[in-house]
Structure 1
Amino acid sequence: MRNLLFPVFSLILLVSCSEKKSDKNFVLSGNIKGLKNGTLYIQRIKDTVLVPIDTITIDGDSHFTSAFNLDSPEMLYLFLDRGVTNSLDNNISFFAEKGNMNIETSLDYFTADAKITGSKNQALYEEYRKVISRYTDQNLSLVEKKFKAYKEGKLDAVAKMEKEQEGITLRRYLYTTNFAVNNGKYEVAPYVALAEIYDINLKYLDTIQKAMSPKVAQSLYGKKLNEFITQRQKAEK
């Protein structure tokens, strides 16, 4: 009888352990090629300040795993404390959502080499950033040309380039609005509205608000966008 009870007890214990491992709704795994020692911090923005959610010590093995509960899809940050250097290449932003996500990168090019998978919001955000980077590059090019023209006293050229910059800003704002409206079923929509075009005309924010699905409207960023629009409406009356 005891021989029969032992495997049954072992099975119950195994199931119990499995349940404990799966009680978190978000799991982040990854690998930082070349990292032997260091500390990783998973952080979120709270009251405009980055605060840690989890701390991971790397000691010999460059692979890492973190699991915790995520109430709503949210932009989080993977910060690498290199310990001995002051490199600026130490923070990876990623749009976390419930389920399993993976970040593969390298120590030498921590941010640039980052390959992030497992999140539809992250994939959409990466598509968005590719387009926005073109507007950013165009603007930086004009800034350089404008500075040179100003030094040479070519004020007419400076005024013309300022008009071009205004056009770039307008196109960037319109693209962001269209992106948010077209992706109203995903939490990335209210996020880019708040992060990129918070100062746009209220009618555009109102259009984005109406395009959000009920689920997104109740998400972290959906609620923040609704609150923000309400505050602006009161301030502009």
Structure 2
Amino acid sequence: MKRSILALMALVLLTACNNNDHGDTNLHITGNIKGLKQGKLYIQRVVDTTLVAIDTIVINGKSSFESHLKIDSPEMLYLFLDRGQTNSIDNSLPFFAEPGNMKIETSNDEFFYRAKVTGSKNQKLYEDFLQMKTRFTNDNLALVEKNLEATKNSNVKQLDSIATKADQLIRRRYLFTANFALNNAKHEIGPYIALSEIADVNIKYLDTIQKNMSPEVAKSLYGKMLTKYVAERKKAATEAVK
């Protein structure tokens, strides 16, 4: 009986120790990079416009990985793959991290394009935004192609038409982005999109997005950044009038 009690106590202590292995971390990331046998993974965050590694994972024969991190609020992180090849360009994967359990699955050959990230509501919204952004990018590329052809043929009338369509496309993109940020101002993706995509838009749009943030989002990393940015632009505008 005494041995059973001692064994149970030992098990409880062992479990307690295991639970404290990762300190006060609140983000658990697991993942797998199919086909990767060797390399290094860096999980990075932006600090003063510079990417800084907050975790380093060595891949040596096993393509799965995991990381335990502490983040104060949801934020955009970057999973960087170092294959040991300086000419590799498909090596950085942005993902919107938030406290909890997240999973990243991708492949060595198509690290960015095959990536599937789950466990984050903000990430899902970010992917929805990127899908629409791709449409605007494709429309712009089509106009660039037509512009080159019109320039080659010295077709002034067509060049004017293309310029008008390009301006309309820019306005549509800005309006869509502003509406997306406003509609998702209750999530951290809202202020992030506002800051990263349309920081130069008319201040009234940013002000509206900022005022529609939930109290929780307003206290987050990007919420605070947007509030500060809006205040700075308002101050600059006021001083410019004087």
TM-score range, shorter chain: over 0.9
Q: More displaced, 174-183 or 108-117?
A: 174-183
For residue 16 of structure 1, what is the aligned residue in structure 2?
16
Post-superposition offset of 1:4: 4.6
Point out the more displaced range, 147-156 or 166-175: 147-156
TM alignment of 1:63-78, pairs within 5 A: 63-78=64-79
Unaligned stretches of 5+ residues in structure 1: none
1:118 is aligned to: 119
Supply the distance in 2 between the matched residues of 1:232 and 1:116 (Cα, whole angstroms).
35
The letter of the residue matching 1:13 is: L
Q: Equivalent residues in 2 for 1:1-237 (5 A)?
A: 3-21=3-21, 23-237=24-238
TM-score normalised per structure 1 = 0.96
Aligned-partner SS, 1:236:
helix
The 2-side partners of 1:15 and 1:84 are apart by 42
Q: How far apart, CA to CA, are the structure 1 residues paired with 2:138 and 2:109? A: 24
Superposed displacement of residue 7, structure 1? 1.0
Separation (CA, whole Å) in 2 of partners of 1:139 and 1:17: 56
Shift of 1:6: 2.5
String of CA shifts for 1:10-46, please: whole Å, max 9, x gaps: 1232232232146410011100000000000000111
State the TM-score, normalizing by the size of structure 2: 0.94
Of 154-163 and 127-136, more deviation after overlay is shown by: 154-163
**Could you list the runs of 4 or more consecutive aligned residues of structure 1 that deviate by over 3 angstroms after TM superposition?**
none
Distance 1:188 1:60 in 2: 36
Q: What do the CA deviations read for 1:191-217 (whole angstroms, capped 9, x no partner)?
A: 000000101101111111111101001
Q: CA deviation at 1:183?
A: 1.1
**Cα distance per residue 1:134-191 (max 9 Å; x no partner):** 0111011101111221122112211211111111111111111111111121000000
Question: Match of 2:20, SS?
Answer: helix
Task: Report how far residue 85 of structure 1 moved.
Answer: 4.9
Where structure 2 has 5 or more consecutive residues not aligned to the other structure, the ranges are: none
User: What is the CA-CA distance between 1:2 and the residue it aligns to?
Assistant: 5.8
Cα distance in 1 between the residues matched to 2:96 and 2:219: 17
- State the alpha-carbon separation in 2 of the partners of residues 113 and 124 from structure 1: 18
Q: Distance in 2 between matches of 1:207 and 1:159?
A: 34
Question: Aligned partners of 2:54 and 2:124: how far apart in 1?
Answer: 23
Supply the distance in 1 between the matched residues of 2:3 and 2:206 (Cα, whole angstroms): 68
Range that drifts further, 97-106 or 174-183: 174-183
RMSD: 1.4
How many residues are paired up? 237
Q: Distance in 2 between matches of 1:140 and 1:187?
A: 30
SS at match of 1:39: strand
SS at match of 1:72: coil
Percent identical: 54
* Secondary structure of residue in 1 paired with 2:111: coil
Question: How far apart are the structure 2 equivalents of 1:236 and 1:165?
Answer: 28
**Which piece of structure 1 moves more, 2-11 or 101-110?**
2-11
Q: Distance in 2 between matches of 1:128 and 1:117?
A: 16
